[in-house]
Chains A and B, each alone.
Chain A
Amino acid sequence: MREDLTVAEAVALAHRQEWAFVLAATARVTRDLDLAEECVQDAYAKALTTWTETGVPARPGAWLTTTARNRAIDLIRREAFFRTALPLLADEETTSGPADGEDIADERLRLIFTCCHPALAPEAQVALTLRLVCGLTTAQIARAFLVTESTMAARITRAKKKIAVARIPYRIPDAEDLSDRIEMVLTVVDLLFTTGHVAPNGPDLMNTELISRAVDLARMLVELLPGDEEVAGLLALLLLTDARRAARLGSSGAAVLLPDQDRGLWDQAAIREGQSLVRRALRRRPPGQFAVRAAIAAVHSESPSWGATDWDEIVGLYDVLIARRPSPVAALNRAVASGFAGGPEAGLAALDRLATEPQLATYPYAAVARGEFLHRLGRREEARAAFEEALTFTENKAERDSLRQRLAELGEG
């Protein structure tokens, strides 16, 4: 523990870094997620006062775990006769009881795989991961997803009830299920990051809280599953994308798109780490979707300017991605890249081929891309119509400002 930290900072750091482990280890004693959460919250509250008196312990995570577990044992003894229908965490090794010597990495993995179980609705997986693995409060999660606290509380309660009643197991999946289930976990983290990277609505372009939680989770997964190339690919993708954070907002608060970004503002340390992870991720044959998406971000990151981007390489990577995992958004991005590789006519033709794709009909970036190519061809009125169409599809203020700015430029020219 760093000595220059105040107690409050040390508790906040332990909250970020140790919550998942403390909760997972406590849940092994309580067999009940709600009770475990209660005890872990108590332990963090107690840390604030105790550490002020005794100093920050050498291993804050161990201190918090012991405190939370003792509290749990105390409560279980005291309330044994009052607590009815304890929602048991289904675990085939129930009879062996909590194992103290067990690998601490496994404890956190169990918790993550439980939160991201495919029997839970995707939004419940995201909410539970933030709640149980990251320790965010229901109010914080509700704010991040712009729903009321009571809606979010109901969603989390329902998901926890399903874990208990349907007996979703609290364990790492068997080898045969593992790769599917890891992909599910990675998808949840990716969704968290994307939600933070471009907030779907509201005043800010980004929700930095969600971004850092997603990066923390990806780092945790790399630590827990060091041999998995897709996990490395996900962390690479998040680092390379987030490296552009400082360049994404102009002085007026409007979103600055990739072509116009000041690349001097990109975070070079994050880019170096991301690029080295991409190399590791691409070792898998065939490469997974996160490795390929990270490779695309890496091509942008090593290009000195928008004009110098290796578009043929990017088109080729999108082909690999679409072969692995077809999606309308990937097809759109490929169309845009092919426009930069082969000229605006080619880009428009590629976009036209996607015109009947229902998922893209109200997707603002499809209209933005069309506007961009029309603008390059000097078809100003059509470009204007495309940007106006894009405006009707986004509620994000920073994006709206950026689109209005482009419309104003079209008017002047």
Chain B
Amino acid sequence: MARYLLLIHDNEAYYDTAGADERQALDEGHEVFAREHKDIIVEGGHLQASTTATVVRQDGKGDFLLTDGPYAETKEALGGYYVIDVATLDQALAVAKRLPFFGEVGDAAVEVRPMH
């Protein structure tokens, strides 16, 4: 078996404009997803909005520089992740396609990355 990180990039604007019902439906979708895949999910997490992110980098003078916002400014922000344990990339891709926001949130994408 091998571990894959599923990085969920989705559209934060959707969550800003979505009603409470829609957000609740999505949360329930994740609960269903987690239940259905409990044997292979190692861990998972839901991230706060990218506006709450802070980037730490070196300033080149031996000190650190902190900047407000996510490292990569894109329309699709990193919203959450799962770590799963399956045998092959095809299985990991099949699991990624089962994530609940497909069909709900426009331009959502999942990056599937093998882990060491």
Contact = CB atoms under 8 A, between A and B. Distances in A.
Interface residues of B, number: 8
A90 B93 contact: no
A119 interface: yes
The interface residues of chain B, by DSSP majority, are classed as mixed
A125 to B, nearest CB: 15
A168 interface: yes
Contact of B114 (A91, A165, A169): A165
Interface in A23-38: none
A284 interface: no
Interface of B: 2, 87-90, 93, 112, 114
Given A90-B89, A169-B90, 16 more contacts: A90-B2, A90-B87, A90-B88, A91-B88, A92-B88, A117-B89, A119-B89, A119-B93, A167-B87, A167-B114, A168-B89, A168-B90, A169-B87, A169-B88, A169-B89, A177-B90
Nearest to A173: B90
Contacts, number: 28
Nearest to A117: B89
A166 interface: yes
Chain A CB within 10 A, most for which of B2, B88, B90, B114: B90
Interface string A88-125: 00111000000000000000000000000101000000
A166 B90 contact: no
Nearest to B116: A165
A84 to B, nearest CB: 14
A167 B2 contact: yes
Contacts of B87: 90, 92, 167, 169
A345 B115 CA distance: 61
Contacts of B89: 90, 117, 119, 166-169
A166 B89 CA distance: 6
| Smallest CB-CB A-B distances: 7 pairs | A169-B88, A90-B88, A166-B114, A166-B89, A168-B89, A167-B88, A169-B90
Chain A CB within 10 A, most for which of B89, B112, B114: B89
Contacts of A168: 88-90
Contacts of B93: 119
Contacts of A173: 90
6 contacts: A90-B2, A92-B87, A119-B93, A165-B114, A167-B89, A169-B90
A77 to B, nearest CB: 26
A177 B87 CA distance: 17
Interface string A74-94: 000000000000000011100
A303 to B, nearest CB: 45
